[in-house]
Amino acid sequence: MVARPRLKPAMALAGTTPSARPQRSSTSNLFLGRLFDGQCPCQRTGVASEVCSWQAAVALGRTGHLVGFACAGLVVNSLRLTTGRPRPLYERIPDGFYGICLDHRYHAFPSGHSATAWGTATALVVTVPAVGLAAVAGATVVGWSRMYLRAHRPTDVWTGAGLGVIFEVVLGIAARRVVSAGAGTSPASALGSKAQ
């Protein structure tokens, strides 16, 4: 049996001692823990500060997506309460828009499941395209299942999906503009210029 070589601690590799390490703030304890010894990974590896601004852009993008979900959910639920369209499951109620109603049988338009599924798929297509394509397939299945279970009509599903996509795209563009205005360059161009 061959013995594996024993790895040296990160401190020994970096040439620092425990007393020479900077103290960790509560934020870095929360997010980075012991992985980077309280330092930003950019500082640890010596990579330029553009990457740190890129990480801030990613965090802002996550916040933008969260705000997008919240806004889409608020609009979808407001429309449900104010339009009063009956679900197809209840055949005795003729299709139409009956106005403000708190009865769940009249909360078909638009589909909240579709808004959430397509909003998530849009966010993933933008941030992680390989996973996003699978999420688009999943969002399509969610929309189909809502019609199959007779909880929604096709127009309910399409409207919900449209709202989810619109809010994610609009807030994603807004987040990119905030990052570009704050850093002076886009995160992709900052990384591209460093690589050259």
pLDDT digits (tens, 9 = 90+) for 142-192: 999 999 999 999 999 999 999 999 998 888 777 767 766 765 544 444 444
The C-alpha atoms of residue 17 and residue 11 are separated, in whole angstroms, by 6
Lowest mean pLDDT among 13-17, 88-92, 129-133: 13-17
Q: In this structure, what token pair is assigned to residue 193?
A: 């210029």
Q: How far is CA 173 from CA 21, 53, 81, 123, in A?
A: 39, 17, 29, 11
Per-residue HEC secondary structure of 14-34 comes to: HCCCCCCCCCCCHHHHHHCCC
The C-alpha atoms of residue 174 and residue 106 are separated, in whole angstroms, by 34
Q: Which helix (H) or strand (E) holds 112?
A: helix 112-127
pLDDT digits (tens, 9 = 90+) for 116-144: 999 988 888 877 788 888 999 999 999 99
Angle at 71 between CA 67 and CA 77, to 5 degrees: 145
Model confidence at 33, in pLDDT bands (50, 70, 90)? very low
Strands (E), the chain: none
Model confidence at 105, in pLDDT bands (50, 70, 90)? very high
Name the residue ranges covered by the structural domains of the chain: 54-181
Residue of 121, 101, 117 lying closest to 109 (CA atoms)? 101
- State the average pLDDT for the chain: 74
Global pTM reads: 0.63
Angle at 56 between CA 51 and CA 62, to 5 degrees: 130
